Amino acid sequence: MEKKLAVITGADGGMGSEITRAVALAGYRIIMACCNLEKAEAKRKFLMKETNNEDIEVWKIDLASLESVASFADRLLSSKNRLALLMNNAGTMETGRHITDDGLERTVSVNYVGHYLLTRKLLPLMETGSRIVNMVSCTYAIGKLEFPDFFIQGKKGSFWRIPVYSNTKLALTLFTIELARRVKDKGIVVNAADPGIVSTDIITMHQWFDPLTDIFFRPFIRTPYEGASTAIGLLLDKESGNRTGTLNANNHVKVLPKRILYHKQTADLWEQTEEYVKQWL
C-alpha cells in the first residue's frame, strides 16, 4: 500500500522537526520543504534513522520568492501524487524591513503570501480527507491590515517587527477561515494552530533587552515539542478531521471573536493577495 504524502514547510526548524517526526512515525511519506538544504539534509538523515521511515525527502523552497514557491508546487503537481497533509509551518520575524524581488516585505512573503500561493497551487492534489494546517500565533489579535501598506511594508509607518509579524499572522488566520469555507464542499479540512510562545530562534529580538525578557518570560515559554503539539493533533488526530475553519491552541478549539470570524477585510485580503500571485497560478 502506497504511503500517503505530507508536505511540511520549515521542516528543519524547532517545531518543524517535531511535526516531521510525528508525521513520519505515523507512516507518511514526507517532503521537507526547506530553504537551507544543508541544514535540512542533516535533519532528514537524523529523522529517518530515529523514526525508521526512509520515505523522507528534502525539496528546496524559498518562501521569500514567489518564483521558488511556484517551482516547488509545479514539481509536485507534475508528479500527480495525491497530497494528504500540508503543514504551513515556516515563519520569520525580520529584524528590519527587507523587500523581496516580488515587491513584498519579506516577513509578509514568508509568513503569508508564500504559503497562500503554495496552498492555492497544491489544492488540485487534495481530495476528501486532505488536511491543511496553518501555523499562526496569538499575536493575530493585535494584527492590523492597512492596504497596500501591508504587502509592501508590513505595516503603515516605520518598521517594527512585532506588529509586522502580528499582521502576517492575522492575514494567515483570515486565510484559514476563508479557505476553509471555499473548499468545504470538496471535503478538504483547513485549520490553524497557535503554538503559544515557543523557544525557537524567531523569538530572539537581537536587542539589549533580550537577557531580561528571557529571565521574565522563560517560565512561560514552551519547548518546540510543546509548541508543535496542537499542529500535530490537527494533522493526525481522527477527531480533528471533523472540524474546519477553526483556530486551535493547547490542543483545543479556541473560540474566535466575531470581529475575526467575520472580519471586514477578509474579502479585500483575498482579492489583493490574488493580484500578487496571479501570474503564478
223 pLDDT band, cuts 50/70/90, is confident
DSSP state of 198: B
Closest to 119 measured CA to CA, from 191, 170, 55, 167: 191
- Out of 28, 165, 225, 276, the active site residue is 165
Cα 163 from Cα 278, distance rounded (Å): 27
Position 214 scores a pLDDT of: 54
Q: How far is CA 63 from the centre of its chain?
A: 10
Position 220 scores a pLDDT of: 59
For residue range 121-166, list pLDDT tens digits in order. Answer: 999 999 999 999 999 999 999 999 999 999 999 999 999 999 999 9
Number of domains composing the chain: 1
**Rounded to 5°, angle at Cα 259 from 243 and 220:** 70
270 SS3 class: helix
Complete edge-to-edge strand list for the sheet that includes strand 252-254? 56-60, 29-34, 5-9, 83-88, 131-135, 189-194, 246-249, 252-254
| 165: annotated active-site residue | yes
Cα 212 from Cα 215, distance rounded (Å): 5
| Mean pLDDT, range 111-116, rounded to an integer | 98
pTM for the model:
0.93
Backbone angles phi, psi at 96, to 5 degrees: -160, 170
Residue 249 has pLDDT above 60, yes or no: yes
Position 2 scores a pLDDT of: 83
User: Measuring CA to CA, how many Å separate 5 from each of 9, 17, 61, 135, 281?
Assistant: 13, 17, 17, 19, 22
Which structural domain, as residue segments, surrounds residue 64? 5-280
Tell me what percent of the residues of the chain surpass a pLDDT of 90: 88
Cα 188 from Cα 260, distance rounded (Å): 22
For residue range 116-127, list pLDDT tens digits in order. Answer: 999 999 999 999
Residue 220: CATH number of its domain: 3.40.50.720
Cα 36 from Cα 58, distance rounded (Å): 10
246 SS3 class: strand
DSSP state of 4: P
| Mean pLDDT, range 211-237, rounded to an integer | 78
For residue range 7-52, list pLDDT tens digits in order. Answer: 999 999 999 999 999 999 999 999 999 999 999 999 999 999 999 9
Cell 500561493, residue? 117
